[in-house]
């Protein structure tokens, strides 16, 4: 009996080690590809200069807002500072109980109007519509019954005037050139039906007229660790998956979509908690099923500064929601895994998200427990295991720091030596501390799926730092 247990533990340990090596290899290749592409892009800009064109695609910017009185006015002001000539702003108030509507109406001198809405995708009924033109930009505010973020985005699509729309959060700010950068892939290739921007942590920055004037690592450790995590996650997968049209996620905080394609695919699904990922996966499936030549891209220079949770309680709520959304999207389109017609999308992207995102907390916890049991029954080569995990941890920290500093280099931002040291130290704490906590949170998300699947949760907001 003991021999059988030892044999089982041995095979599980070997699988776990191979699993970690596989993840590290993918991460390494992704970061190297991402960092090299960013470096080449920067060198091209230095050699050729930045060439601007006089062509602009018309864009509707949709900002869903629910109880966002603290941030929504600054978000709209940041949108008015865009170096772009043809866009409208649509704020959809999703049944707010605070002064969101009042602040918007007063700040932009909006007038209530009567306007018919052709509802090509389902959404809750509108209660009031306000409009104004501010600095030459049309701003529309739709007040509607509470129906959730996906429902608000569908309302925004229905009332929008332009063939492309951007979805972004009401606690976010765009850099001055972000609209231009996110529209560039569409201007270069008319097959692009969606493109995601780069989400960066706004805690710790000051934006003046759409440009970052001050940048420092956030003082709160939990926020600073999220800075490192965001930079690694975007660099480690988005640019690499861009190479074979394999991106499955465009953050709900900032992404552009071709309206007609989204309408044909059915719009946003209001029954899922991860409406942003669900839409992107649905677009992949819709286009491939209908033999549409398409592309879904990522624009690393289209930067959106967004607030992240400032305490552990809010972070847990956010990540639990994200993991449930991931589960719902992957299971809804599970038939795409490994299918020939999906190519590398099904063989690499879907498989990666199943194994290294959705199931990873269970695999990692099970692996750790079996290693502990193996140690108890003297099955582990102790020096080898210690060396392996030390190398794995060091490797992870180095990749995190490469991601962080390469992004700073691309944005032409400098930080103090104190912040450099802070980033180096926190890369270790993020690996063994924050990542472990979030692993437990993600495990609990699916275990308590029935309990949490309809719970969105509210996050603490802080006024945006802009001038």
pLDDT tens by residue, 276-334 = 999 999 999 999 999 999 999 999 889 999 989 999 999 999 999 999 999 999 999 99
Domain that holds residue 204: 16-49+171-467
Q: Count the neighbouring beta carbons within 10 Å of the beta carbon of residue 293.
A: 7
Contacts with 408 (C-beta within 8 Å, 6 or more apart), sequence order = 414, 415
Residue 85, in any domain of the structure = no
Residue 406, in any domain of the structure = yes
pLDDT at 151: 96
Residue 149, in any domain of the structure = no
Q: Are strands 254-258 and 192-201 parallel, antiparallel or unpaired?
A: antiparallel
pLDDT tens by residue, 333-372 = 999 888 888 888 998 999 999 999 999 999 988 888 888 8
pLDDT at 459: 59
Q: Count the neighbouring beta carbons within 10 Å of the beta carbon of residue 280.
A: 23
Residue 4, in any domain of the structure = no
Residue 96, in any domain of the structure = no
Give just the sign of the alpha carbon dihedral 373, 377, 381, 382.
positive
Query: How is residue 125 annotated by DSSP?
Result: P
Residue 108, in any domain of the structure = no
Residue 95, in any domain of the structure = no
- In the chain, the number of structural domains is 1
pLDDT over 70 at 48, yes or no: no
Cβ(200)–Cβ(230) below 8 Å: yes
pLDDT at 210: 72
pLDDT over 90 at 257, yes or no: yes
Residue 147, in any domain of the structure = no
């Amino acid at each position: 009996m003991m021999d059988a247990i030892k044999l089982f533990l041995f095979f599980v340990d070997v699988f776990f080690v191979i699993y970690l090596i596989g993840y590290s290899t993918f991460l390494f290749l992704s970061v190297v590809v991402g960092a090299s592409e960013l470096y080449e892009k920067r060198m091209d800009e230095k050699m050729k200069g930045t060439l601007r064109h006089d062509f602009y695609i018309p864009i509707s910017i949709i900002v869903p807002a629910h109880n966002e009185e603290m941030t929504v006015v600054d978000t709209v002001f940041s949108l008015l500072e865009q170096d772009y000539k043809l866009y409208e702003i649509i704020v959809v108030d999703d049944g707010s109980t605070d002064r969101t509507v009042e602040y918007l109406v007063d700040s932009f001198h909006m007038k209530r109007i009567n306007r018919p809405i052709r509802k090509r995708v389902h959404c809750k009924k509108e209660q009031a519509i306000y409009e104004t033109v501010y600095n030459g930009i049309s701003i529309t505010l739709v007040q509607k019954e509470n129906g959730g973020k996906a429902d608000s985005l569908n309302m925004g699509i229905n009332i929008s005037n332009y063939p492309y729309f951007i979805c972004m959060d009401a606690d976010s700010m765009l850099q001055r050139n972000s609209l231009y950068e996110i529209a560039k892939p569409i201007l270069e290739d008319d097959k692009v039906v969606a493109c995601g921007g780069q989400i960066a942590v706004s805690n710790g920055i000051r934006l003046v007229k759409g440009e970052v004037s001050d940048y420092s690592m956030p003082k709160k450790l939990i926020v600073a660790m999220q800075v490192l995590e965001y930079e690694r996650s975007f660099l480690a997968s988005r640019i690499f998956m861009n190479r074979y049209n394999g991106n499955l996620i465009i953050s709900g905080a900032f992404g552009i979509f071709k309206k007609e394609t989204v309408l044909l695919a059915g719009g946003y699904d209001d029954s899922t908690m991860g409406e942003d990922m669900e839409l992107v996966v649905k677009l992949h499936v819709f286009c491939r099923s209908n033999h549409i030549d398409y592309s879904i891209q990522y624009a690393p220079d289209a930067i959106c500064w967004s607030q992240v949770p400032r305490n552990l309680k809010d972070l847990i709520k956010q990540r639990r929601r994200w993991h449930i959304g991931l589960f719902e999207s992957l299971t809804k389109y599970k038939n795409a895994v490994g299918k020939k017609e999906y190519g590398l999308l099904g063989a690499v992207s879907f498989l990666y998200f199943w194994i290294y995102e959705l199931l990873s907390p269970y695999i990692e916890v099970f692996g750790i427990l079996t290693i502990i049991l193996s140690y108890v029954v003297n099955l582990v080569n102790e020096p080898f295991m210690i060396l392996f995990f030390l190398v794995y941890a060091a490797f992870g920290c180095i990749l995190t720091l490469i991601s962080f500093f390469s992004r700073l280099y691309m944005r032409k931002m400098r930080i103090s030596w104190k912040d450099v040291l802070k980033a180096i130290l926190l890369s270790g704490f993020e690996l063994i501390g924050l990542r472990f906590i979030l692993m437990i949170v993600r495990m609990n998300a699916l275990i308590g799926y029935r309990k949490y699947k309809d719970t969105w949760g509210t996050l603490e907001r802080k006024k945006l730092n802009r001038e």
